[in-house]
Chain A
Amino acid sequence: GAVVSQHPSWVICKSGTSVKIECRSLDFQATTMFWYRQFPKQSLMLMATSNEGSKATYEQGVEKDKFLINHASLTLSTLTVTSAHPEDSSFYICSATTGGESNEKLFFGSGTQLSVL
């Protein structure tokens, strides 16, 4: 099946620094990628929908200036957490779709555990 590669798997950073997370579709072109955040024992919360070549669509309550999303190609989307703070510590997961109406074509990355000190 299709593979979505997400890096890094985990990152520890100091408060105030920025962290970039990459999400790559390895063997398919992903017109749309999604970014989720998951706090411990909570559900995956959709942060934004990333479309290649256009601005990302952010969910209500998600600061677009803090969580910068770039979807520059059909195989790569990046999420940058700017000026990270301890409350941004979470599990970030990307997913990519090959298109069509079926979510069975939706593939998840392995996730990134962010810890902000």
Chain B
Amino acid sequence: QKEVEQNSGPLSVPEGAIASLNCTYSDRVSQSFFWYRQYSGKSPELIMSIYSNGDKEDGRFTAQLNKASQYVSLLIRDSQPSDSATYLCAVTGLPGTDKLIFGTGTRLQVFP
């Protein structure tokens, strides 16, 4: 079983809609969870981080974490064509470790 799993997509949504990206992880000791956005040929950039159960909102982005279900999601409201990219879910293991395990990413396409 992969450590971090994501649907590869592509996920296609119209401009202005809500895009919902999902991620599951296998290691119950994972403490920190991150969403990165990666444009083709570029390095990842951090979008959101979440550490405790529940929702965390930042602008148009909302991260949701459910540790019991080992599930983390990212909602993008009012999706824009510029949001079209691959979104990588990443988790860490033991507290204090900087080692990130990445999912394969979900490709999001926002069409006008």
Which A residues contact B (CB, under 8 angstroms)?
6, 32, 34, 36, 41-46, 49, 91, 93, 97, 101-104, 106, 108-111, 113
How long is the Cα–Cα vector from A97 to B44 in the complex, in angstroms? 15
Interface contact A103-B102, CB-CB below 8 Å? no
Interface contact B8-A41, CB-CB below 8 Å? yes
A43 in complex: contacting residue of B34, B95, B98, B104, CB < 8 Å: B104
B44 in complex: contacting residue of A49, A102, A108, CB < 8 Å: A108
Known: A103-B92, A104-B49. A109 touches B43 (CB 8 A): yes
How long is the Cα–Cα vector from A41 to B107 in the complex, in angstroms? 9
Chain B contributes a number of interface residues (CB within 8 A of A) equal to 24
Shortest CB-to-CB span from B20 to chain A, Å, is 20
Which B residues contact A (CB, under 8 angstroms)?
4, 8, 32, 34, 41-46, 49, 88, 90, 92, 95-96, 98-105
How long is the Cα–Cα vector from A102 to B105 in the complex, in angstroms? 22
Interface contact B46-A104, CB-CB below 8 Å? yes
Known: A41-B8, A43-B103, A43-B104. A103 touches B44 (CB 8 A): no
Shortest CB-to-CB span from A7 to chain B, Å, is 13
Interface contact B98-A34, CB-CB below 8 Å? yes
Interface contact A44-B98, CB-CB below 8 Å? no
How long is the Cα–Cα vector from A109 to B44 in the complex, in angstroms? 9
Chain A residues with CB below 8 A from B90, complex form: 103
Chain B residues with CB below 8 A from A103, complex form: 32, 34, 49, 90, 92, 98, 100
Given known contacts A46-B101, A91-B41, A93-B44, what 18 new A-B pairs fall within 8 Å (CB)? A34-B99, A34-B100, A36-B102, A43-B4, A43-B88, A43-B104, A45-B102, A46-B99, A46-B100, A97-B98, A101-B96, A102-B32, A103-B92, A106-B46, A108-B43, A111-B42, A111-B43, A113-B41
